[in-house]
Amino acid sequence: MVCMGAKSEEQSRLAARKYARVIQKLGFPAKFQYEPEIFLGLIYRMKQPKIVLLIFVSGKIVLTGAKARTETYEAFENIYPVLTGFRKNQH
């Protein structure tokens, strides 16, 4: 689980712990473990449009926070040329 949007580290822990309890109450095994250093993505906060991008080494991108679909397209068009400069050589 990735917890986003918390205002502090403590709020992140609390939200993740509560989520684990909900999953446990549904009958699924869940264990809370907080390890912020194992998140394997880059969190990029774009100013215009105001969108957050999660960019992974695998090439996958998650765009979140858009108010309209056009903002998503604009953000991707802004970031794509930057990302292609870091593309791994494919043999």
pLDDT, one tens digit per residue, over 34-83 is: 776 777 788 899 999 999 999 887 888 999 999 999 999 999 999 999 88
pLDDT given at position 91: 57
* Cβ atoms of 73 and 61 closer than 8 Å: no
* pLDDT for res 90: 62
Give the number of domains in the chain. Answer: 2
φ, ψ (nearest 5 deg) of residue 56:
-110, 155
Q: Report pLDDT digits (tens) over 16-32.
A: 889 888 989 999 888 77
What domain range is 67 assigned to?
40-91
Do 84 and 52 share a structural domain? yes
**One domain for residues 51 and 76:** yes
Query: In the prediction, which pLDDT does 58 show?
Result: 80
Confidence of residue 88 (pLDDT cuts 50, 70, 90): confident
Q: Are 56 and 72 in contact (CB under 8 A)?
A: no
pLDDT of residue 25: 92
Residues 30 and 47 placed together within one structural domain of the fold? no
Q: Is there a single domain that holds both residue 49 and residue 69? A: yes
pTM recorded for the entire structure = 0.58
